[in-house]
Structure 1
Amino acid sequence: MSGGAPKLPPLNSLKAFDAVARHGSMSRASAALNITPSSMARHVRKLEEYVGVNLLARNANSITLTGEGKYYSAAVRPAFDILAAATDSLLTQEDDEPLRISCVPTLGNPWFATQLAALQERMPGISIQCDFSPVPVNFDRDHVDFAIRYGPGSYPDADSELLFVDKVAPVCTPLVARLIRTADDLTKVARISSQERTTEGHSVWYYWANVCYGPKFAQVVDAAKGPVLKCARFMIEALKVGENVAIVDYTTARMDLQRGLLVTPLGQWIDAPYGYHLLTPKRRAPRVATKRLKALLKNTVESLAIASVHRTAKTSTEGGSRQRSVHKLK
């Protein structure tokens, strides 16, 4: 018996044939492997040339396995199943290590906690370590498997995928809202600002006012500087105990808006300047747990009820017509 490497057919062609045999269709098999039907056909013909027999019977409307094709498919399929099982087993061994997650503080809410609990249910025994920080993550330096950050989405050491874009609007207590009948009234009440800046260097107050009323009014609103707070959650608490108004994202203010502790006096929610992004290391293969958590987050992001922000806006203002300032018409 020769001690050399075993003689194997072209593996890509073998993989293509196995996909056709499993799916019973050239088009479905090509979609499963993410290649064109013409490439799939070429791979199968190459395999047929190698083994010297026809594996598929082709006609105008369909393809079927020949007798030799059925025999060969039954013989090679277990080999692919063994390879898949071995790979899954190897990847699962990684998950003996804790899944290290870094998330922005604004998503430290029941929705995110529910997704972590769902991941633990799907992967019993997995250990999760999660910290909440707005500091940019460095996958080349930090021992982190997965991160969620709010920003423009460009990160040199990470693969980035947009999760969702939040909404922002002026928010205050119902008492303060009585003083804000039009956009002009915003200039008459104390305004809290955040440290966030758009890519153009503008404040969020300027960004919101410019979208809703134009640059002239945006400059007026942005001119008078009030308190500047870094923490979004603390800003919410400051609004509830003070006579102030602030531009707040819906995700952070959601619970207090639903309870009526805070309202949107003008009801004008717009897309936030940035979005929440799912980040994974660019130079490290993502773990199985990372992939499953990403899928959970993407499939359940609608439960954040971002869309219901418009319903919240309607119920938190008295008389929708009052929110239209003269600046809206300019």
Structure 2
Amino acid sequence: MRALPPLNSLKAFEATARLNGVQKASEELHVTHGAVSRHIKQLESWLNTSLFTRKGRTLELTDAGQQYLTTISAAFNMIDEGTRFIQSRRQESLVRVTTTHSIANKWLVKKLADFYKKFPQIEIWLTLEQRLSELSQSNIDLAIRMGQGPWPGLNCTPLKQDRLIPVCSPGLIEKQGSLSSHLQLKEFPLLHDRDPNAQWSRWLRENKIKNLILDKGSRFASGDLLIEAAIDGQGIALISEWLATDALNNHQLIQPLKEFVDLGFYFWLVTPQDHFSNPSVNTFVKWLRSVV
């Protein structure tokens, strides 16, 4: 068994000797002046050797203290180098991703099992954020966003084209009757995102439908909530076809009207330029493109 003194005592001794004083050591170690002094006395007692001599207000290393400092400093440097090496390896195997609630809940989380199966050595840290923060000012490696990109000042790569389509549950049609024309929409409850006018107004405009006002109905803060409300039979929603793919394939939702809005490239990969130097980020990006 190794004869090792308490680590806190070693840290107090090394900092005091390196910084030439107990006060500076206490500031670096974020402990009190008295705590540093007690740790040094504890170490001297453990070694049964004086490490410092006091001359006026200054401390000077004894010969034994100087020799011990050389050994302890070398050991601390080796620990520091080893720790940094392990941390750098961990960082290279870590990919920090931010996306919206809708993309995470309706698509990304379901796909991550495939990524982990193929690349078990890479960790994904996923955070949810509706707005595009300044990625260059954060530790995020990449963002997945939907909207009318690209955005200035960011490295934006198009991932997926999309359409806005009207959807509802089969049960809603069974309950309220058939829906075969946009003129019948006023007879159905409508569901909206944050802005009750924007999406439906665009749908009307791009399909050249006039004399129809579709601004009433419940609002939801995110697309995934809008989809869930539609599945629940609460009304007709205008949503991303891509995010609704699973619900459409599982017949939880149907598209009662053929009119749609072509969004073009609506899903984007957004990254700070320098994060592509991480090989794990490159691996995740290649996988992402393969499953979109």
| Same-fold status (TM-score > 0.5) | yes
Q: Secondary structure at the match of 2:237?
A: strand
Could you tell me which of 199, 206, 211 is aligned with 2:201? 206
- Which amino acid counterpart does residue 252 of structure 1 have in structure 2? L
Q: Match of 1:152?
A: 148
Aligned-residue offset at 1:283: 5.5
Give the 3 Å change call, closer, same or farther, for CA 225–296 of structure 1 in structure 2.
same
Contact 1:120 1:126 in 2 (8 A): yes
Percent of aligned pairs sharing the same letter: 21
- Which amino acid counterpart does residue 152 of structure 2 have in structure 1? P
Q: Match of 1:184?
A: 183
Q: Secondary structure at the match of 1:160?
A: strand
1:293, 1:134 → 2: CA distance? Answer: 21
2:105, 2:145 → 1: CA distance? Answer: 15
Give the 3 Å change call, closer, same or farther, for CA 260–121 of structure 1 in structure 2.
closer
Aligned-residue offset at 1:130: 0.8
Give the 3 Å change call, closer, same or farther, for CA 256–299 of structure 1 in structure 2.
closer
1:130, 1:243 → 2: CA distance? Answer: 31
Could you tell me which of 208, 221, 236 is aligned with 2:213? 221
2:171, 2:266 → 1: CA distance? Answer: 31
2:264, 2:192 → 1: CA distance? Answer: 15
1:122, 1:237 → 2: CA distance? Answer: 31
Could you tell me which of 248, 260, 265 is aligned with 1:257? 248
If the length of structure 1 is used for normalisation, what is the TM-score? 0.54
Q: What 5-or-longer segments of structure 2 have no aligned partner?
A: 1-87
Deviations, residues 267-290 of structure 1 (Å, cap 9, x unaligned)? 334423660100110465542111
Q: Secondary structure at the match of 1:221?
A: coil
Contact 1:193 1:246 in 2 (8 A): yes
Aligned-residue offset at 1:184: 0.2
1:112, 1:157 → 2: CA distance? Answer: 25
Q: Secondary structure at the match of 2:146?
A: strand
If the length of structure 2 is used for normalisation, what is the TM-score? 0.60
Contact 2:158 2:265 in 1 (8 A): no
Q: Secondary structure at the match of 1:102?
A: strand
Q: What 5-or-longer segments of structure 1 have no aligned partner?
A: 1-91, 302-330
Q: Match of 1:105?
A: 101
Larger CA Rg, structure 1 vs 2: 2
Q: Secondary structure at the match of 2:165?
A: strand
Q: Secondary structure at the match of 2:252?
A: coil
Q: Match of 2:125?
A: 129
- Which amino acid counterpart does residue 220 of structure 1 have in structure 2? L
Report the aligned-residue RMSD. Answer: 2.9
Could you tell me which of 217, 223, 233 is aligned with 2:224? 233
Deviations, residues 272-318 of structure 1 (Å, cap 9, x unaligned)? 366010011046554211112111121222xxxxxxxxxxxxxxxxx
Q: Secondary structure at the match of 1:257?
A: helix
Q: Match of 2:170?
A: 174
Q: Secondary structure at the match of 2:212?
A: helix
2:202, 2:164 → 1: CA distance? Answer: 10
Deviations, residues 167-201 of structure 1 (Å, cap 9, x unaligned)? 2211112233334221100122221111269xxxx
